[in-house]
Amino acid sequence: MAEKRLSFKEMCAAFDVTPRTLRYYEYIELLQPDREGRSRFYGARELARMKLIMRGRRWGFQLEEIRQWLTIYERDGTQVQMRAFVESADRQLQSLAEQRAQLDEAIDELQRLRDETNASLD
């Protein structure tokens, strides 16, 4: 049975990305679709890579870090890739925790100022 492939338009819809984003991922060689004339088709490999890209972006990873995970997998395999991911995830979790603390502080400060301002209106 033939592998299910998505067209360019289907890929954009499946991952809720713009055509420009998808083209950019191809341009920086994160994705390498099959080409038939001017048409592009995305098979299982590209779908898996896109899932990883989208997860990484959602978690705040830079595209270069994501590229490294993909390269490590192709060069060294799953175990090495998973170790690299754990190290990156640890760093990102720390960064996100710091961002959360900064946001909590900003929210508290804004809430205090809002409450003080509101109280002075009475």
Q: Please give the average per-residue pLDDT across 34-42, as a whole number.
A: 94
pTM over 0.85: no
Residues 74 and 47 in one domain: no
Residues 51 and 78 in one domain: no
pLDDT band at residue 30 under the 50/70/90 scheme: very high
Residue 15 CB coordination number (10 Å): 17
% of the chain at pLDDT higher than 90: 89
Domain count, the chain: 2
The yes-or-no verdict on residue 1 having pLDDT over 70 is: no
Where is the domain boundary, 41, 58, 75?
Answer: 58
Residues 28 and 41 in one domain: yes
CB-neighbour burial class of residue 41 (10 A; exposed 0-12, middle 13-18, buried 19+): middle
The residues pairing with 35 across neighbouring beta strands, listed in sequence order, are 40
Give the pLDDT confidence score for residue 2 in this predicted structure. 62
Give the pLDDT confidence score for residue 4 in this predicted structure. 87
Question: Contact, 20 vs 35, CB < 8 A?
Answer: no
